Amino acid sequence: MTGWYEAGNGEWFVGCGEETDLFEQYAGLLKPRFRSGRAQKSLRVWCSWYSLYTDINETRLHKILHELGDLPFDVFQVDDGWQMAIGDWEPNAKFPAGMDGMAGQIRATGRKAGLWLAPLLVVPSSSLYRQHPDWLLRDGNGRPVSAGFNWGERLYALDTTHPGVLDWLAALMQKVRGWGYDYAKLDFLYAGALPGKRHLDEMPREAAYRNGLKVLRKRWGRPIS
């Protein structure tokens, strides 16, 4: 086995054994370093992705919400398919009452409202990509770093060391919280740790990744119980 740090030195965890036990040990070692998580219990979540993928709309979700009745779901989570574009986190035409309206319908049933986001990604069709090209992670030749391909177009990563990106991430989380969502499913977060040239180029990738997540978590606000 060979391993190395991108910059400097650090600790390593090497384990052998049953998977569940190893993850439990690893989590135990992380707690004193990064503190324990905020969730006090495991929530039972109904997630639109596993039934409908992106084929969601306001009417369909209202119907499902009604049909759930008193089934013991703590969270009703709206997944991919509600947004204008990856990077433009506003409701599309399928949600005419807005995402605050959707959250209100969910909360009226006594459940927490959940929403899917991929906050560290951006696609060329988004207004964010066109308006803020300086926010993108770039390679040594100045080209945007590829973060993959999905939704029929290329994916790019936001630079989580750029002050403008951090302010935008903070505002995004405050907006979603203001809509009435208590639960966020954050996806494609690997984009924050991709190799590339950053605004703070001396910051290691892992630190840049944690920098972005710290802002997301801080601005999300009160803990989820």
- Domain limits, the chain: 41-220
Model pTM?
Answer: 0.89
Q: Which fold has domain 41-220?
A: TIM Barrel (3.20.20)
- Give the pLDDT of the chain (225 residues) as one tens digit per residue: 677 777 777 788 888 999 999 998 888 888 888 776 656 678 999 999 999 999 999 999 999 999 999 999 999 999 999 999 999 999 999 999 999 999 999 999 999 999 999 999 999 999 999 999 999 999 999 999 999 999 999 999 999 999 999 999 999 999 999 999 999 999 999 999 999 999 999 899 999 999 999 999 999 875 433
Q: For 102-216, list the strands marked E by DSSP.
A: 112-117, 121-122, 146-150, 153-157, 183-186
Taking the C-alpha atoms of residue 77 and residue 47, their distance in angstroms, rounded to an integer, is: 5
Handedness of CA 22, 25, 30, 36 (dihedral sign): positive
70-108 per-position pLDDT tens digit = 999 999 999 999 999 999 999 999 999 999 999 999 999
DSSP run (H or E) holding 78: strand 75-78
Residues listed for the chain: 225
